[in-house]
Amino acid sequence: MARPILSEECIHPGIRAYVASNHGDIVHEVQSAIAQHDVVVVGMAQNPFPRLARRTLDKAGIPHHYLQYGSYFGGWRRRNALKMWTGWPTFPMVFVKGMLVGGASELNALAASGELQRLQKAPR
């Protein structure tokens, strides 16, 4: 499954560096967390769904690392870089062993089916 992304040849050379690095710090921070922790939840303040995802993990006894970026009142530009990087449109973004598994609803479905526990125990 490849998702469409604008090829570099279609980006003017004068703006390629800007496009490549735009809010890259937030992407690198999440990539670093994913490399260091088996389960990472990326969320935002005031959104109840990251809290639901974290509760699901707590209930399953699965330790996780939480990153929070902004709220409904700010930080959307930085969060947008994560949405463009992952292709996932909402928060939270839940990563298990480096794999994006979706948000709170998808995490709940994985937990209910037993797949979450299998993913969490699998080698990287």
pLDDT digit string, tens, across residues 74-115: 999 999 999 999 999 999 999 999 999 999 999 999 999 999
Is 99 a member of any domain?
yes
The pLDDT of residue 9 is above 80? yes
The predicted pLDDT at position 8 comes to: 93
Domain presence at residue 112: yes
Task: Domain count for the chain, please give it.
Answer: 1
Residue 62 lies in a domain: yes
Answer whether 65's CB lies under 8 Å from 33's CB. yes
Tell me the sheet residues that pair with 67: 42
2 lies in some domain: no
Tens-place pLDDT, residues 44-61: 999 999 999 999 999 999
Range of the domain at 47: 38-121
Domain with residue 66: its CATH number is 3.40.30.10
Identify the helix (H) or strand (E) that includes residue 86. helix 76-86
Percentage of the residues of the chain whose pLDDT score is greater than 90: 92
CB 43 within 8 A of CB 53: yes
Instruction: Note whether residue 8 is domain-resident.
Output: no
Does residue 54 fall inside a structural domain? Answer: yes
C-alpha dist (Å) from residue 45 to 73, 76, 82, 102, 124: 9, 11, 16, 18, 30
Instruction: Answer whether residue 73 is part of any domain.
Output: yes
Q: Which of 77, 72, 69 is nearest to 40 (CA)?
A: 69
* CA 81 from centroid of its chain's CA atoms: 11
